[in-house]
Amino acid sequence: MAEQKVKQKGPYILDLEAGSHLWCACGQSANDPFCDLKTHKTLGFVPKKFELTEKKKVALCGCKQSKNAPFCDGTHAKL
């Protein structure tokens, strides 16, 4: 498996609409923190699908090390 690429150490704070979203686990997506449905296929990573039932402000992990992915758990502060 390839190494994850970290484009942003801290979280992505976003207002997201209700529905399904795909968080990029590899860090190679051109649309990070969201999966572009291309780059992970050759790297051995699987995007993390998550659902929101309503529009919500979320903190998505940027460091790719969260134990609660796709959401930030503060791990970046220890890196």
- The answer to whether residue 20 sits within a structural domain is yes
- The answer to whether residue 26 sits within a structural domain is yes
- Say what the pLDDT of residue 1 is: 65
Helices and strands counted in the chain (H then E): 0, 4
Q: Which domain holds residue 28?
A: 12-78
Which whole number is the average pLDDT over 54-75?
Answer: 98
- The answer to whether residue 44 sits within a structural domain is yes
- The answer to whether residue 6 sits within a structural domain is no
Kindly report, residue by residue over 47-60, the tens digit of the pLDDT.
999 999 999 999 99
- The answer to whether residue 16 sits within a structural domain is yes
Kindly report, residue by residue over 5-16, the tens digit of the pLDDT.
888 999 999 999
How many Å apart are CA 42 and CA 60, to the nearest integer?
23
Give Cβ neighbours of residue 26 (< 8 Å, ≥ 6 apart): 2, 4, 5, 39, 40, 43, 45, 64
- The answer to whether residue 72 sits within a structural domain is yes
What's the number of domains the chain is made of?
1
